[in-house]
Amino acid sequence: MKVYDEKHIKNIVLLGAPKAGKTLLAEDMIFEAGITHRRGTIEGKNTVSDYHEIEQERGNSVFATALHTEWQDYKINIIDTPGFDDFVGEMISSVRVADTCVMVINAQYGVEVGAQLIWNYVDQFNKPIIFAVNQVDHPKADFEAALNSLQERFGKAVTQMQYPVSEGEGFSAIIDLLKMVMYKFPAEGGKPEKLPIPASEIEKADQLHNALVEKAAENDEKLMEKYFEKGTLDEDEMRLGLKLGMIHHDVFPVFVTSAKKNMGSGRMMGFIDNVAPTPIEAKPEITTDGKEIPFDRTKPTALFVFKSHLEPNLGKVTFFKVISGEVTTNSELINSQTGAIEKIHQLFIMDGKTRNPVDKLVAGDIGATLKLKDTYTNQTLHAKGFEVTVKPIEYPEPRIRTAIVALSKNDDEKIGEVLQKIHQEDPTLEVAFSKELRQLIIAAQGELHLAVCKWYLENVYKLHTNFESPRISYRETIRKSAIASYRHKKQSGGAGQFGEVHMQLEPYYEGMPEPVEYNVRGKEFIDLEWGGKLVFYNCIVGGVIDARFIPSILKGVMEKMEEGPITGSYVRDVRVCVFDGKMHPVDSNDISFKIAGMMAFKDAFMRAEPQLLEPICDLEVHVPEDVMGEVMGDLQTRRSLIMGMDSDGRYQVIKARTPLAELDKYTTSLRSITQGRAFFTQHVADFVPVPFDLQQKLAKELHVMEEV
């Protein structure tokens, strides 16, 4: 296979809402370039892109898939991405390594919710954008309405390059405003005939062409001067102006396609060849210390791993972009994050599951290799002596949590190991064992994301599991002061155990005055790792408890605070004064006073009006105005306190404080209420008292305490 240099490589990513036609557009592009000799279909389950078993079962993309074309002396790397934002990690990773984003818009619906949500992520990368208005052959297609929705949503940067002569089932011709020709397609699609623009369309085409010329001229002073001198620009000058506009995010070209009928993709590929930026024209990658890495094949080698995936019967496939230098087979590179040395035994250009071996790839190109031992998504490989780490991708926080339980206890240990492997491939799926909740917790982007994870566990790793609602990380505290004592005495032959502790518990608050009823001999102020404070005072006088036993009493208190008396949750915000006790000259020891301290704390805690606290979240829901009422009504059923409202572009933002216990599967409910047109962020902000009736219910359910 021919090796292309960084001046003749184009990297694009196909984005869009579900069912917009990204996968079929990718089929058209590789078919037009002769990479394949037939076009697959979703119904036939034979597309190059959606080749995974789960994708064929579901009928939609789940993973980002790399493909390529060779078109007019350029290599175009294509990454086809899923449309559902549950798989946003696949999309973000792909956008990161692409130099141009192609947003596929369904001509029936215009800018859909999925496209708006994707834009929220794409916009942060500030990459050049091309819009492909697809499915103009559909009976309900409305190109003008779709174009208007683009202009309304994305502003004056939306730049019309083409329009259909007719649309719907009779669609067969496109007017191209850059070349000022009409492309007439045969009924079965494929290579079009170039014809003059019909007289009935010439006035409209001239008007739109002049607007395009003016748009191209706006992006460069020299071009503007030529435009003023000549009143127009030639095609090459327009291409230059459009390229500059794309790089600066001032031009978003709009093309017309019918992926189903293979119409329009070739012309768009020609534009990508001639106008879309190459890697050396695009923005360079940035290191973790803020330095730029130019795409230069003469520099030492650096690769950025943007995706890794375990393929059954093949092993781990690692996808990367060459950031600097060139990589060859048998190269030895160093992982900048782990220090591991990796040998590149094989290099491939991927077309779905088809591996095309190559001997070398240069800066700006995208490729893959097999069976790297210690390298995963978001890591950098570099040549020895060229120590560089590409700035990692920042993925969105998970939006849904669930506990996972193996159906067979023999699989308990294995399931944790497998989930860690899945996390290394997909950083947007997080997994951790919660010591507090005593559950293995998966955090994901949505129900579909969890469903795919479960499918992989069952079908690839043969592990059968159940998902359960995660327990809530409650906290326990007290509302009043209380005093208690406990004597631990044990005699069983030989040395016994004896320790007696008297202590006072008080609710702790910031700025609390020092105790005046006791003589303070020592104080420890502890910031608890689970939040809140413990203030521990040694108020022993007269040596009734030896100073060497005070740390053991504190240890006993801390152990009980890790498993509170009400629900077994962590205890926070208490002040403890140990003011009296007894010891035995022979039988007293550390374990005796640890037990006495623990039990005295428990007794005092139960006398001090124990209070259960629940985590409360700051919630921001971004929602279209027409469904605000339904969303607010649903929030109020979840014990939410509405804090205010704001606007963010086309969204209204509802700000609320909602108990975490009420947000289980909220992402699914919100999607149902708004037809997928809303999204939200949440983070735990505070712990607040649980209503008394709910506290009693929780205490009974957990069988930890008698009724308070």
Q: What architecture is the 476-608 domain classified under in CATH?
A: 2-Layer Sandwich (3.30)
Do residues 325 and 365 make contact, with C-beta atoms less than 8 angstroms apart? no
Tell me the per-residue pLDDT of 459-513, one tens digit each, with 9 for 90 and over: 989 999 999 999 899 999 999 999 999 999 987 766 789 999 999 999 999 999 9
| pLDDT band at 704; cut points 50, 70, 90 | very low
Phi, psi of 676 (to 5 degrees): 80, 15
Cα–Cα distances (Å) from 214 to 128, 144, 242, 249, 252, in that order, read: 19, 21, 10, 16, 14
Amino acid (1-letter code) at residue 343:
K
* Residue 706 pLDDT: 37
The topology under which CATH files domain 400-468 is Alpha-Beta Plaits (3.30.70)
- For residue range 218-276, what is the model confidence (pLDDT) as tens digits? 988 999 999 898 889 999 999 999 999 999 999 999 999 999 999 999 999 999 999 99
Q: How many residues does the structure list for the chain?
A: 708
Q: Give the CATH H-level superfamily of domain 285-382.
A: Translation factors (2.40.30.10)
Query: Which residue type is seen at 369?
Result: T
Tens digits of per-residue pLDDT, 54-77? Answer: 999 888 899 999 999 998 889 999
Q: Which residues contact 289 (CB under 8 A, 6 or more apart)?
A: none
Give the contacts of 498 (CB within 8 A, at least 6 positions apart): 487, 488, 489, 490, 582, 583, 584, 587, 588, 592
Rounded average pLDDT over 188-193: 90
> In degrees to the nearest 10, what's the CA dihedral of 594, 596, 599, 601?
-80
Q: Contact 473/437 with Cβ under 8 angstroms?
A: yes
Per DSSP, the three-state class of 80 is strand
Which tens digit of pLDDT belongs to each residue from 646-703?
987 678 999 999 999 999 889 889 988 988 778 888 889 999 999 888 888 887 776 5
Quote the CA–CA distance of 292 and 704 in Å, as a whole number. Answer: 58
Can you read off the two tokens belonging to residue 36? 């394949």
Identify whether the C-beta of residue 268 lies closer than 8 Å to the C-beta of residue 130: yes
Give domain 612-701's CATH architecture: 2-Layer Sandwich (3.30)
614: tokens are 């629940």
- Torsion region of 341: left, alpha or beta (phi above 0 gives left; psi -120 to 50 gives alpha): beta
| HSE-CB of 582 using CA atoms within 13 angstroms | 10
Interior angle at CA 21, CA 20 and CA 26, nearest 5: 145
Closest listed residue to residue 305, CA positions, set 386, 404, 390, 206: 390
Residue 565: predicted pLDDT: 86
Average pLDDT of the chain, as a whole number:
92
| Same fold for the pair 476-608 and 612-701 | no
Tokens of 350: 């991927």
The order of strands in the sheet holding 465-468 is: 430-434, 439-444, 400-406, 465-468
Q: How confident is the model over 295-316, as pLDDT tens digits?
A: 999 999 999 999 998 887 788 9
Residue 501's alpha-carbon distances to 411, 538, 595, 596, in angstroms, are 45, 11, 10, 6
Whole-angstrom distance, CA of residue 9 vs CA of residue 519? 78
Question: Could you give the 3-state DSSP secondary structure of residue 186?
Answer: coil
- CATH code: domain 9-198+250-274 is 3.40.50.300
A 10 A CB-CB count for 420 gives 11
Per-residue pLDDT tens over the stretch 75-115: 999 999 999 889 999 999 999 999 999 999 999 999 887 78
| Cross-strand pairs, 645 | 654
Q: Is 361 helix (H, G, I), strand (E, B) or coil?
A: strand
Distance CA 347, CA 329 (A): 6
- The whole-number pLDDT of residue 705 equals 38
Domain ranges of the chain: 9-198+250-274, 285-382, 400-468, 476-608, 612-701
The angle subtended at Cα 565 by Cα 564 and Cα 570, nearest 5°, is 10
